[in-house]
Amino acid sequence: MFKKFASLVLAVAVLGSTLCAPAHAAGELDAITKRGELRIGYIPSPPGTNKDPATGELTGFYVEIAKSLAAQMNVKPVFVETTWANFVAGLQAKQFDMSIGATFATVKRAMAVDFSTPLFYLGSVAVVKANDNRFKTPADMNKPEIKIAVVQGTAAEDWVRQTMPNAKVTSLAGGNLTAGFMEVAAGRVDASFEDSFTAGRFVEQQPSTKVIFGDKPVFFLPIAWTVKKGNTELQEVISISIRNLILSNQMNTLVGKYLKGGRYLDTPNLTEFPK
């Protein structure tokens, strides 16, 4: 009798959790629909997200993809500016429903937010002065006399602090991914790390600097969008939208408007992205 009772209690508990979980998840999506707005956190980072300093107008392929998602959901897109250091807190505080900051999907971040399916994959490299030939491997930078700048809240910051504990590392606040590179150009630090695309574009405009480790990025991760932890229904909606854009080749079309040759790769690749 006790075994039968215990089995019944377990069955009811499982059924209860099964019934309650979708109701909670549906509440988030239902709130967006009733509000008629999809609040989208963004971080100015060309060419995916460009903000006109005079008008505040947003353009870029991330912006277009987000607008397409909102249109399919039959709601209005409302964009809320944030930073790399604060976007997770913004999601948790419900300042916005999702973030379109191009975010490296890492285990540490996945413990705080839920990721969409990857938009693409990207490797990270270093930028140093053009005449600096000291560094053959990343290990050559792990010295007390070496100064490295990284942008606060980025995957590059996590990687540098974990792999180069002996170097003098400075974290720069704000959403500008080239901030560390500008410190290199100014001669205030020896190196800075960020994704290979951003690094390549910066070096093109600043010939006093160069990219190193470009033939083999120091780490390679998927780029994805994020939602608040547990908001699985919106996560799935975003992922379906991204997969449809990829499979229909619309992703390359949208990206190609802002970046010659497109930026999308659906599998990891250790070579540079088209410039």
Q: Is residue 265 part of a domain?
A: no
Residues 144 and 83 in one domain: no
Residues 209 and 74 in one domain: no
- For CA atoms 144, 206, 197, 223, give the dihedral sign: positive
Predicted structure pTM score: 0.69
Residues 193 and 159 in one domain: yes
The beta strand positions in 34-93, using DSSP E, are 37-42, 50-51, 58-59, 76-81
Q: Is residue 109 part of a domain?
A: yes
Q: Tell me the pLDDT tens digit for each residue of 77-105.
A: 999 999 988 999 999 999 999 999 988 88
Q: Is residue 3 part of a domain?
A: no
**Which pLDDT score is estimated for 14?**
38
The total number of structural domains that make up the chain: 2
Residues 149 and 215 in one domain: yes
Which domain-ending residue is among 191, 219, 247? 219
Residues 50 and 178 in one domain: no
134 three-class SS: coil
Q: Is residue 227 part of a domain?
A: yes
Question: What number of other Cβ atoms are within 10 A of residue 14's Cβ?
Answer: 10
End-to-end Cα distance, the chain: 72
Rounded CA separation 81/41 (Å):
6
Domain of residue 134: give its range.
123-219
Q: Which residue has the higher pLDDT, 34 or 175?
A: 34
Rounded CA separation 40/35 (Å):
14
Whether residue 148 has pLDDT greater than 90:
yes
Q: Is residue 6 part of a domain?
A: no
Q: Is residue 19 part of a domain?
A: no
Q: Is residue 56 part of a domain?
A: yes
Residues 175 and 185 in one domain: yes
Q: Tell me the pLDDT tens digit for each residue of 23-61.
A: 444 588 999 999 999 999 999 988 899 999 999 999 999
Residues 107 and 44 in one domain: yes
Residues 165 and 202 in one domain: yes
* CATH number, residue 95: 3.40.190.10
Residues 209 and 139 in one domain: yes
Residues 38 and 112 in one domain: yes
Residues 80 and 150 in one domain: no
Q: Is residue 7 part of a domain?
A: no
